[in-house]
Chains A and B, each alone.
Chain A
Amino acid sequence: MNTYEPIIGLEIHVELKTKSKMFCGCPASHFGKKPNTQTCPVCLGLPGALPVSNKKAIEWTIMLGLALEGNIAEISKFDRKHYFYPDLPKGYQISQYDQPLCRGGTIGDIRIHRVHLEEDTGKLIHTNNTTLVDFNRSGVPLVEIVTEPDIHSTEQAREFLKKLHQTVRYLGISDADMEKGSMRLEPNISVRKTGEKGLPSYKVEVKNINSFRFVEKAIHFEIERQMTLLNNGEKPKQETRGWSEGKGITISQRSKEEAADYRYFPEPDIPPMRFSRHQISDVRRQIPELPDAKRQRFIKTYSLSEYDANLLTETRALADFFEECVKIGKVPAKKLANWIINKKPDMENVLPAALVKSILEAGNVISISDDVIKQILSDNPKAVEDYKKGKQQALMFLVGAVMRQMKGKGSAEEIKKMLLSKLQ
């Protein structure tokens, strides 16, 4: 039996959450809207309609490119990619071919091949004997991120995707919600004998994956499937397969007789783009602190453990909430971190100030009563003695003494519990 090494590349599509679509002024937010209620001549592909690029979508794509440490093109352009499909109203997709907005970049050890901007298609709903088409999504800005085939395990793929997802969310350019389809993954997978160099002569692209969990399962399944074929002396076919979550397998999607021929050419309706260094540094300035930098800073500035810093920087919202609380200044950062990690406050509804206040209050009860209890116990040796002899009333006396000392704060029940724990 040979041993094999998986070679995995990822193609990720992320819908940008701009207000308007990529090439027209229809709303970009389409989830859950009534079908075909957010269209215009442009995104419906009517005769004579022309595209005009959304500036923000371009800036955001550049921002993502910069965040991934890629090289932003000095000159870029859009191209037409042709194929016929009912969800593609113009018979071509406005995409980018040989001059993407960004080339290169990395996430950890994984190299990014390119990042480009294109338009989303409409949505198809399959019924028994017909297919229904909704164009609300048609023309929504879509960023495509393509990695080099640098991934060799499902774990690596998961780590990469988690990081990318986190970065996109930090930048605030997309919800990157897999279930709503605003982030879509297409791994391409092949395997080679361990120790071999060079890429295998085939690769299998897997579609229809709409959660992080499925991508791991799909990749795992494909690796096993391809290794089995190779062990039986067969070469896996170059093809597109779909992930079936129900069956837990990938299924061949009619491999085409002819290779796709997209007949790309430069989009004549959109003038080319040229970016000065100045413009690019303007965009760079808009990039917020990213997870890695934030984590390092949290560790350094707040003396947090790597583990805690990791948890607190999971999302930008959580990290910001934490820092808001720290800024108030009444509770030490470390204590805040513990509290937030353990109690997971509802950030939507609890203001940082309110959280700090409740920590302080809770903190008061505990610390004061602890000291007070010790003091009361040492001040009343007789009552302690009595209690130990079985006099329940002595306990009530001690509770009363604590309560007097605390000027009525704290519940009798709580104090009783604490006294008991010290008396045993």
Chain B
Amino acid sequence: MKTAKITPVTVQKVARLARVPLTKTQEKDMTKKIGVTVQYISQLESLPTKDVTETSQVAGLENVYREDEIDTERMFTQEQALANAKRTHNGFFVVDAVFDEK
């Protein structure tokens, strides 16, 4: 198993990926704590799982669908949709300008 040591660089990279802003102090604390956590969870490595298939869901359900129908009951008015937003304009949510494509 790849249990790379958690370095400040790893923490910075993961923080960017997870979009979790960290102060320098937090970063240091996080390097330690995530290091301990990752070391702990890496115990799992010793469990033999050859030929075992994964279980993602325990409910055992399959093929659960909805019919293609419009459900107006749950729909929001524009006002409701925007009610909890900090910044709105003419019916839109507003964010700082983003230009680069994802």
Query: Does A405 make an interface contact (CB < 8 A)?
Result: no
**B91–A36 CB distance below 8 A:** yes
**B75–A254 CB distance below 8 A:** no
Residues of B within 8 A of A54 (CB): 65-66, 68
Query: Does A258 make an interface contact (CB < 8 A)?
Result: yes
Residues of B within 8 A of A266 (CB): 56-57
Residues of B within 8 A of A27 (CB): 70
Q: Given contacts A133-B92, A273-B63, A274-B62, is CB(A36)–CB(B81) below 8 Å?
A: yes
**A271–B64 CB distance below 8 A:** yes
* Bound: A204/B36 CA distance, A: 41
**A41–B74 CB distance below 8 A:** yes
Across the two chains, which residue of chain A brings its CB closest to B17?
A: A261
**A86–B63 CB distance below 8 A:** no
Across the two chains, which residue of chain A brings its CB closest to B68?
A: A56
Residues of A within 8 A of B40 (CB): none
Across the two chains, which residue of chain A brings its CB closest to B16?
A: A258
- B69-93 CB contact bits vs A (8 Å, 1 = yes)? 1111111111001100000011111
**B78–A86 CB distance below 8 A:** no
Residues of B within 8 A of A258 (CB): 13, 16
**B74–A253 CB distance below 8 A:** no
- A82-105 CB contact bits vs B (8 Å, 1 = yes)? 011110100000000000000000
**A34–B70 CB distance below 8 A:** no
Residues of A within 8 A of B97 (CB): 126-131
Contact of B95 among A34, A37, A131, A240 (CB under 8 A): A131
For residue A286, give the distance in angstroms from its CB to the closest CB of chain B.
Answer: 14
Residues of B within 8 A of A131 (CB): 94-98
Q: Given contacts A38-B75, A52-B65, is CB(A271)–CB(B92) below 8 Å?
A: no
Contact of A40 among B63, B67, B74 (CB under 8 A): B74
* Bound: A134/B100 CA distance, A: 18
Residues of A within 8 A of B67 (CB): 55-56
Query: Does A19 make an interface contact (CB < 8 A)?
Result: yes
Query: Does A57 make an interface contact (CB < 8 A)?
Result: yes
- A263-282 CB contact bits vs B (8 Å, 1 = yes)? 10110101111100000000
Query: Does A35 make an interface contact (CB < 8 A)?
Result: yes
Query: Does A25 make an interface contact (CB < 8 A)?
Result: yes
Contact of A26 among B63, B71, B90, B95 (CB under 8 A): B71
Query: Does A135 make an interface contact (CB < 8 A)?
Result: yes
Interface size class of A (residues with CB under 8 A): 35 or more
For residue B86, give the distance in angstroms from its CB to the closest CB of chain A.
Answer: 13
Residues of B within 8 A of A37 (CB): 77-78, 81, 91
Query: Does A229 make an interface contact (CB < 8 A)?
Result: no
Query: Does A18 make an interface contact (CB < 8 A)?
Result: yes
Contact of A53 among B59, B66, B71, B100 (CB under 8 A): B66
For residue A89, give the distance in angstroms from its CB to the closest CB of chain B.
Answer: 10
Across the two chains, which residue of chain B brings its CB closest to A54?
A: B68
Contact of B74 among A25, A85, A268 (CB under 8 A): A25
* Bound: A120/B61 CA distance, A: 26
Query: Does A171 make an interface contact (CB < 8 A)?
Result: no
Residues 36-59 of A at the B interface (beta carbon under 8 Å): 36-42, 44, 52-58
Query: Does A20 make an interface contact (CB < 8 A)?
Result: yes
Residues of A within 8 A of B13 (CB): 258
Residues 1-40 of B at the A interface (beta carbon under 8 Å): 13, 16-17, 19
* Bound: A351/B39 CA distance, A: 75
Contact of A85 among B69, B70, B77, B102 (CB under 8 A): B102
**B70–A19 CB distance below 8 A:** yes
Contact of B81 among A83, A135, A263 (CB under 8 A): A135
* Bound: A41/B84 CA distance, A: 12
* Bound: A337/B66 CA distance, A: 44
Chain A residues packing against B (C-beta within 8 Å): 18-20, 24-27, 34-42, 44, 52-58, 77, 83-86, 88, 124-135, 207-208, 240, 242, 253-254, 258, 261, 263, 265-266, 268, 270-274
Q: Can you give 10 A-B contacts (C-beta < 8 A)? A: A19-B68, A19-B70, A26-B70, A39-B76, A53-B66, A54-B68, A56-B67, A132-B93, A132-B94, A268-B56
Q: What 16 additional pairs, Cβ within 8 angstroms, besides A26-B70, A135-B93, A271-B59?
A: A19-B70, A24-B71, A24-B74, A26-B71, A37-B91, A44-B76, A52-B64, A77-B56, A86-B95, A86-B98, A129-B97, A131-B97, A132-B89, A254-B100, A265-B56, A266-B57
